[in-house]
Amino acid sequence: MRDAFVKTPLLLALPFLMAIQWSLMALPANAKVGQHSADITTPFGPPERELMVEVEGGKVYVRINGLSHTDAIPVIFVHGGPGGTHNGFASMLGLANERMVIMYDQLDSGKSEQPNDAANWRVERFVESLDKIRHALNIKRWHIVGHSWGSALALEYTAKYPQHTVSTVLGGTFISTPHWIMDANLLVQAAPEETRKTLKQCESDAPPADPICQEAYTVLYSRYYQPVAPTKAALAYYKNVGGKGFNPLIYNQMWGPSEFSSTGVLKHYDATHLLSDIDGSRTLFMIGQYDSARIDTVQNYIKLTPGAELAVVPGGAHGFYRDRPLITQAILQDWLTRQDAAIEVNR
């Protein structure tokens, strides 16, 4: 699979990527803290604070907004990939009006260090990196929002550290490679023959022009889906964010060559058994109406997580943070507020 914003700006199908690949300057390895005068709660606004956090294998980039809300429960966003970046989440900064919003780039991608050492490409190391960030920021408990591959990390973290997790959002839900591949194949099989041929070309090393692939992926999900181009603010952010963007090396080694084929470290990954270990009343599954995370499969996950809720973003595909940012933020704001209230009641 490849980055949706690299080959085709409106590509909807890649199951893990919330990343933008831009060959820009990398952030220095030393920690950097800065204050910005621009509105920090505007979508794709600047961070209030930036730092590099030491984790196993190197240092990861972390950005924070909403620092003044010291009494509110923070939320951290966990991006997809592997090899993606935090960039797609920057549309959610309106949440910083009420709480601290934390975003980061996983090791080997974005503005984090990129040792590209295969010894680091273990699920448990990614999970422990999250807790290293929590320790570095001196946070006792937080909400964790994962998307796609980030959902797997959010689930693993919640199961291991329930005492530090107030609530969990499993967005564009990937928690099982066998289930994901089955769903991807079902989507392709249901597409017209000409679309299937085009999709195969789009996943090759010599893809056709972007508009051709865009049309094919739109047909794959629904003729009713209307992809939304990135806003000027989003494009400016992607262009100026810095770092090395999406890392195809870790993506190929951990996942595989295309959306429909997993040959890497995650080939047999399946964390569905962990769903029974977490508190369903504190779990939200969140998908787009035309998501590659098929609703039938996610409904089965919910059955394994008693008390969990499901939110479907109307008109959104897998990249619903980009497709429908306003309603996505509203859903998250409502969820986080209700979970905060539940904590207060139980104190």
For 77-110, the three-class secondary structure string (H helix, E strand, C coil) is: EECCCCCCCCHHHHHHHHHHHCCCEEEECCCCCC
Q: Which of 108, 167, 318, 323 is catalytic?
A: 318
Sheet with 309-313: list strands edge to edge.
49-55, 58-65, 101-104, 75-78, 142-147, 165-171, 283-288, 309-313
Alpha helices (H) in the chain, listed in sequence order = 4-7, 123-136, 149-160, 177-189, 193-202, 210-221, 232-240, 248-254, 295-303, 320-323, 325-346
Residue 123: alpha-carbon gap to chain centroid: 15
Top CATH class, 4-178+228-339? alpha beta
318 catalytic? Reply is yes
Q: What is the pLDDT of residues 1-26, one digit of tens each?
A: 333 333 333 333 343 333 322 222 22
86 catalytic? Reply is no
Per-residue pLDDT of the chain (347 residues; tens, 9 = 90+): 333 333 333 333 343 333 322 222 223 333 333 444 467 899 999 999 999 999 999 999 999 999 999 999 999 999 999 999 999 999 999 999 999 999 999 999 999 999 999 999 999 999 999 999 999 999 999 999 999 999 999 999 999 999 999 999 999 999 999 999 999 999 999 999 999 999 989 888 888 998 898 889 889 889 888 888 889 999 999 999 999 999 999 999 999 987 778 999 999 999 999 999 999 999 999 999 999 999 999 999 999 999 999 999 999 999 999 999 999 999 999 999 999 999 876 66
Q: Which of 91, 109, 148, 292 is catalytic?
A: 148
143 catalytic? Reply is no
Q: Which of 167, 291, 292, 323 is catalytic?
A: 291
Q: How far apart are CA 264 and CA 256, in angstroms?
A: 5
